[in-house]
A and B are shown apart, each in its own frame.
Chain A
Amino acid sequence: MYPEKFRYTKEHEWVQVEGSTGTIGITHHAQSELGDIVYVDLPKIGAKYAQGATFGSVESVKAVSDIYAPVSGEVLEINDALATAPEKLNQEPHDAWLIKVKLESPGEIEQLLSAADYQTYIGA
C-alpha cells in the first residue's frame, strides 16, 4: 500500500526523491480521511517553500485541508490534470502527484518517515 521508495510526513504527504527533484503527493490515508476530493489548489511554478510551509490545499465535499511541503524547494512542475480531475487523488493517491520541486536541502529527507514508520504512525 505505501511504497518503500517514498518518504512520508505526519501531515500525510509523501515525497519521492530522484536526483535533485522531489515529487510530492498526499497519501492513501489522507485521501481516505478526506473523502471525495473535488478541488485542488496548487502553487505557481517558480514559487519557493520552506519545509513545513503550506503550499496548497485539497478540498473534499465536506472539508478543506492544507498541504505542507515535506521538503524545502522551488516548484518546477504542477500536475495540471488535477484541476479537471481532482478525483484522481482518491483513485490513485500514490500516482497522482501534486507538484515537483527542486530540492534546496536534500538532507531534509532524513527527517521524514519511512513507509514502515508511517504505517505505524497511522495505525495501519
Chain B
Amino acid sequence: MSEAVALRTTPLNSVHRQMGAKMVDFGGWDMPVQYSGILDEHAAVRNAVGLFDVSHMGEIVIRGPQALDCVDHVSSNWAAKLVPGQVHYSGLLYDHGGFVDDILVHKVSDEEFFVCVNASNQDKDYEHIASNNRFDATVENAGSRFAQIAVQGPKALPTLQKLTPLALEPIGYYHFADSEVCGVPARVARTGYTGEDGFEIYVAPEEAARIWQELLDAGAESGIKPCGLGARNTLRLEAKMALYGHEIDATITPFEAGLGWIVKMEKPSFVGREALLKQKESGVRRKLAGFEMTARGIGRDGYEVMLDGERAGWVTSGGPSPTTGKNIGLCYLPPEKSAVGQTIGILIRNQPVEARTVATPFYKRAK
C-alpha cells in the first residue's frame, strides 16, 4: 500500500459513502468506482440516465481584455471561432507538441473563458497557462469553487428539466447557459464523456449534495442510477474519447492521437505549433487505432501489441465493451499498420492473442 497521503475529496464524498459506493484512489482523489456495478450503470446511461460526481475535475477561469488571446496562445483549437455560450474540445500543448492536458473551453464572453480540465492535471495546467500568460488577462485556478455533476443518457434532459427554469431542448450539443438548478446559480453545459446526450452542471460545492439528491429523485421514474468512474471509463472508451495518461500524455501529439481536428494550424501562433508543423511534414511515428479481440482474451491498458512477432505498439485502453459485447480497445501502431482490418497480436500474459483493427468509435448513439 502507498504512504498515508490524505486523498482529496469532492463535496459529495460522504454521500457516496452513505450510499454504499465502492471507493478508490483515483489520481489522488477518493472517488466512487462503482455503485450497483459497472455493467448495470453502463446500461443505465445507454438506455435511460446516469448520474456522475465529477467534482474532481478542475476549472480554470481566464478573464480580462486579452482573455481570448491568452486562450488562443495556450490551446490548439481556435477559441476566436467560439460564440458566447459555446464550448469546444482542445489541447493544452507543450512546445514539443505533446499534451499538457486535454480541455473543454467554454466561452462566457469576449473577456471570460471557463476551462474544464482533468482532476490530477489541474495544478500543472494552471502553472502552464499562467507561465505562458503574457497578455492583459488573469488566470484563476478555480477548482475549489465548483462541484461538477454529470447527468448523462437519453433521459438526462427530462430529468434535469424538472429542476431548472432553463429551457434545455434549445441548448445545442457543446453549448452551455448560466441559469439555476434547484434554485441556485448553475452553469449547465450540454457536454459529456459517455457518448450519450447529457449535461454537465457546475455549481457551488455547498449545493452539490442537495442537487445530487434532487436529481436522483427527479430521475427515479426514468430509472436513474448513480454511477462511478468504472462505468465512466467503459462509456468513454466505447465512444473513443481520450483519457489523459492513456491515449494522450506529454509524449503524444494530437496528430498521433487522431485529434488533428483540435489543432488549427491556420492559427498564426500557439504553444506547440512549430513542433506540430514539423511533424506534419515528417509524418507521425505512430497512430492510435481501435481494435477488437478476435480470439478469446481481453487486451487491457498497457499490454504490448505484436506485429509479425515483433513488439510494435501498446494498448492505451482496453476491456470488455458492455454495449457491443465485444472485447475492445485502443492502441498505438506504426502508421502504415494502423488501417482498419490489420491483424495484430495483443500480448496477454506473454501469449499473443489475435485481434483486428476496426473503425471507431465502437459505439455511436442514434441521433
Chain A residues with CB under 8 Å of chain B are: 35-36, 38-39, 57, 59-62, 64
A-B contact pairs, 27 of them (CB 8 A): A35-B22, A35-B33, A35-B37, A35-B38, A35-B230, A36-B37, A36-B38, A36-B39, A36-B40, A38-B298, A38-B320, A39-B296, A39-B297, A39-B298, A39-B320, A57-B349, A59-B298, A59-B320, A61-B38, A61-B322, A62-B33, A62-B38, A62-B230, A62-B233, A62-B319, A64-B298, A64-B300
Q: Please count the residue pairs between chain A and chain B whose beta carbons lie under 8 angstroms apart in the complex.
A: 34
Question: Would you call B122 an interface residue if the criterion is a C-beta within 8 Å of the partner chain's C-beta atoms?
Answer: no
Q: Compute how far the CA of A115 lies from the CA of B300 in the bound complex, rounded to whole angstroms.
A: 34
B316 within 8 A of A: no
Question: Which residues of chain A are near B296, meaning CB under 8 Å?
Answer: 39
Cα separation A60 to B34 with both chains bound (whole Å): 13
The 5 residue pairs across chains A and B that have the minimum distance between CB atoms = A61-B38, A36-B39, A38-B320, A62-B230, A36-B37
Which among B234, B297, B349 is the interface contact of A61 at CB below 8 angstroms?
A: B234
What 0/1 readout, one digit per residue, does chain B (14-44) give for beta carbons within 8 Å of chain A?
0000000010000000000110011110000
Q: Report the interface size class on chain B.
A: 10 to 19
CB-CB under 8 A from B40, the residues of chain A are 36
Q: Beyond A38-B320, A39-B298, A39-B320, is A61–B33 a contact (Cβ under 8 Å)?
A: no
Q: In the complex, how many angstroms separate the beta carbon of A5 from the nearest chain B beta carbon?
A: 29
Task: Say whether B300 contacts A61, CB under 8 Å.
Answer: no
Give the CA-CA distance A62 to B320 in the complex, in Å: 8
Residues of B close to A59: CB separation below 8 A: 298, 320
Chain B residue nearest in CB terms to A64: B300
User: Measured between C-beta atoms, what is the minimum distance from B112 to chain A in Å?
Assistant: 38
CB distance from B1 to the nearest CB of A (A): 15
Query: Which residues of chain A are within 8 angstroms of B37 by Cβ–Cβ distance?
Result: 35-36
- How far apart are the CA atoms of A61 and B38 in the complex, in Å? 7
Alpha-carbon distance A36/B319, docked complex (angstroms)? 12
Task: Determine how close the nearest CB of chain A comes to the CB of B326; give it in whole angstroms.
Answer: 11
Question: How far is B300's CA from A36's CA once the two chains are assembled, in angstroms?
Answer: 16
| 4 other A-B residue contacts (CB within 8 Å) besides A35-B230, A59-B298 | A38-B298, A39-B296, A57-B349, A61-B39
Q: How distant is the Cα of A38 from the Cα of B38 in the complex, in angstroms?
A: 11
List the B residue with the shortest CB-CB distance to A87: B39
- In the complex, chain B residues whose CB is within 8 Å of the CB of A35: 22, 33-34, 37-38, 230
Contacting residues, chain A, for B38 (C-beta < 8 A): 35-36, 60-62
Closest B residue to A63 by CB, please name it: B300
A32 to B37, CA, bound (A): 10
Expressed in whole angstroms, the minimum distance between the Cβ of B238 and any Cβ of chain A is 12
B212-236 vs A, Cβ < 8 Å mask (1 yes, 0 no):
0000000000000000001001100
Query: What is the chain B residue whose CB lies nearest that of A38?
Result: B320
Report the minimum CB–CB distance from B212 to chain A (whole Å). Answer: 22
